[in-house]
Structure 1
């Protein structure tokens, strides 16, 4: 036997609920409608009876025992204009009829029972009985004399019961048809509703969704990164166990408060944030399906985790590039020495090696005040690269830097300084000028580090100066435009600043970074 699908269950459930609701509603409605119609008929009968009983001509004729045919004509007129008055009979207090639907009965006495006790007390009443024209619902109303002091007769206004039943039957039929039409529409709408719900569930059964949810939790809880899931309104939906276990006492709300300004885009965003003097790497993954936005996934890692994957990119690559340039220069000098030896110019070889040694000693001496080995090695590598490109690399003599090694702050300073120098080197790619230089100045003053990188490379057009820090913006071609944006992101971690100064043929980037001993990875 095939198992009933979720869609079929939903259709049956919705249809049953609608059936019960409509059925009870229509029962109550029919009962109310029939009662209202009956009450409406009685009200109309009462109004017609009151109208007739107050007619002064009728009062006068009955009081004077004047069996006038005009009374019957007037009643025929009333019957024609009042739809609920099918029969009107006027009689005096002896029961003598002055009007009747059957004209032959005019002048005869009223046969059916009359509650003379109520009539003589001046009170009207309703009754249902069979008369000469069939079963009718009747209203009896007393007729007083002209002075309204004595009852002289009564008026009976009746409605045929079969007409009341026909009206009730028609009401029930119409409401029954409406019931079935409503139920049919409810059934059709339930099909569309169930289809929409099934579509929102990606065509899966609840059991399948439950299994997927369990698998999803297992996967999310075994990731290396902390995970925060947000809905389309950036409200927190879920957090994996990695975040709870690894990043405590950090809370999802604290992370969200620090990342709100980055949410809302359609691209993956990566950045670092500082919380309680600790730096975390955040990655925002927007969730889209066929252009529909569902929310974001935030992954969070410590800087130690990021360094295991990215330290080579942010620092080591620059050192390798410098080492390559140094090795290339060293090979060139070895070739010169080898050539001089082959020519037998031993004295020239000695002088060349001596000059080379003095030059290297000078190169190392000018970096004596840069005590951080990582940054010193990076600067030496950049200088070797500049020599290869015939760019003079100048380090101001009063430069100094003594920050600790093996500190994340060192890596970030290396990223800032290395990208500024690389930016200057790139500015000479299309320059043909004879003299090219890059001038560096580094100063450490208590808890502030100031870096200045000046060059006489290609100028930056004024119309793009405001855009050079935007991610992806570059005049150097595709897949570039990250360096200055990365510098600005690093500076935000330490409440730093960057300033561009353009004077004549020179452009200078000046950076200030606040350094606190408590700032770590």
Structure 2
């Protein structure tokens, strides 16, 4: 079962949101810890400063010398400081016995200091911060000693503090503020992730990663499969794509040419002109490295903007050869050439006989040759009603004679002018290539019997073509490969003929069979339906 893949837009959105969440909450974690520490430090510094100010106040020092808990002015002074100072909730002034001279609750005046953490300031007279539970609850406390510097005597101490509950509330409010800010950041991050995903999706033309990978693999396969040269440029006239066929035709040996200016490697490409004008050019001939190529050039458009241009081109000679193979022109040309060659040979014989004044022999030769040619033409034309096919067979018979091969048309052969999808050019392609293949097979044989037998039969529904030779035959291991394009046992052959025959037959919905025995010969039989398939 194929695993379900999330769309690229969804993946980008989720991935970006996850990154934003991790970034925000990592920041929150460290920021919160720093703020907690900062708040604590701020509170400690604040209460210690207030404690030192009160402990060094002359009024407090003088009143502490009096020893009167109730009739002193320290309590009003402390009360005013409490009212005017933020983040301070408790101020206590006490003597060395711990008796209170000032307290947020006036009823506690004269009573002993509670908490136990005051012993340190009483014994050592040092400044410090501690946490303890007093009459108002648990609090953070700053202690500062009160000195009579004239008599070098410690008179008491000041404790300034904040309830731990209040400190916790301050920290909580700060944390809530940070969290609310993080939610705003997360919301903006989500919006940004969606916009980013939409932008990337748009730039990728709505394609998913697997679709992009598939297109890349398909593009690479197509470039390697086609024989046409392909070269593309971007809006800056720099090469963005070139295949191996283009490299061969342009004779480019450099491996890394992507990003190079096209005018440097292919000055006559006219791609810059197509890029500027936006006008395509088709089937233009031009000379490149002593080779005539057929060139097509078109602009690459993205909406109404031209973003590049692409050219495809191919050797004109190869195109001509393939056209001749496909249309059967090659077979007709060869047949005409064979007829012309045989005619010239006979003319040379007649000319020679006349020169040596053997007029009677020349007359007999002309009559005999004319009679044989007439018999052959009558035989072929009588059985084959299509003049194009008849001309092909006559040419092949002449060609066979040149090679010392006897080519026979069977007595039961018959071909009318057909109706349906089978055209003369199709028959020329099939019949011409099969006969040519038979001649080549016989040419490789040392047998004295050098015969090709051609049988053409037509019915209302189909045409059957049989070509039998007495050549070398086909080894068993090669039988399955003979119809593959490029396969050949002959060094100079391009391996196109039989492949072209098979493709043509199959395109008609027909079939082709081969019967062969090594050193005895081969027979090909093609069955072509006039309509539909077999």
Q: TM-score, normalised by structure 1?
A: 0.51
Partner of 1:509: none
Q: Secondary structure at the match of 2:142?
A: strand
The aligned residue for residue 287 of structure 1 is: 300
Match of 2:133 in 1: 130
- Distance in 2, matches of 1:263 and 1:106, equals 101
Sort the Cα spacing of 1:228 and 1:141 in 2 relative to 1 into closer, same or farther, 3 A. farther
Question: Cα–Cα, structure 1 residues 36 and 216, in superposed 2: closer, same or farther, change >3 Å?
Answer: same
| Partner residue, 1:297 | 309
Greater CA deviation, 102-111 or 131-140? 102-111
2:359 match:
none
> Which residue of structure 2 lines up, in the alignment, with residue 345 of structure 1?
none
Question: What stretches of structure 1 of length at least 5 have no aligned partner?
Answer: 309-521
Q: Are positions 1:50 and 2:52 aligned together?
A: yes
Q: Point out where structure 2 has 5 or more consecutive residues left out of the alignment.
A: 321-534
Map of 2:391 onto structure 1: none
* Residue aligning to 1:4: 6
Equivalent residue, structure 2, for 1:102: 105
Contact between 1:7 and 1:195, CA under 8 Å: does it hold in 2?
yes
Shift of 1:241: 2.1
Q: Are positions 1:61 and 2:53 aligned together?
A: no
Q: 2: CA distance between counterparts of 1:120 and 1:296?
A: 89
SS of the equivalent of 1:265 reads helix
Q: How does 1:97-496 map to 2 (within 5 A)?
A: 97-147=100-150, 149-223=152-226, 225-232=228-235, 235-249=238-252, 251=254, 252=257, 253=260, 255-257=262-264, 265=276, 267-268=278-279, 285-292=298-305, 295-299=307-311
Contact 2:121 2:143 in 1 (8 A): no
Determine if contact 2:233/2:309 at 8 Å carries over to the other structure: yes
Whole-angstrom CA distance in 1 between matches of 2:193 and 2:168? 37
Among residues 86, 89, 96, which one is paired with 1:86 in the alignment?
A: 89
Summarize deviations over 1:334-365 as a string: whole Å, max 9, x none.
xxxxxxxxxxxxxxxxxxxxxxxxxxxxxxxx
How many Å separate the matches in 2 of 1:168 and 1:136?
15
> Is contact 2:140–2:163 with CA below 8 Å preserved after alignment?
yes
Indicate if the aligned counterparts of 2:279 and 2:299 stay in contact, CA closer than 8 A: yes
Task: State how far apart, in whole Å, the 2-side matches of 1:94 and 1:153 are.
Answer: 8
Aligned-partner Cα distance in 2 for 1:263–1:148? 104
| Contact 1:230-1:237 at 8 Å conserved across structures | yes
Specify whether residues 70 and 238 from structure 1 end up closer, same or farther in structure 2 by C-alpha distance, changes over 3 A only: farther
Contact 1:53–1:155 (8 Å) recurs in 2: yes
CA contact (8 A) 2:63 2:73 kept: no
Distance apart, 1:116 and its partner CA: 3.1
Aligned residue number for residue 74 of structure 1: 77
Counterpart Cα distance in 2 of 1:291 and 1:138 = 76
Q: CA RMSD in A?
A: 3.7
Query: Contact 1:141–1:156 (CA<8 Å) still a contact in 2?
Result: yes
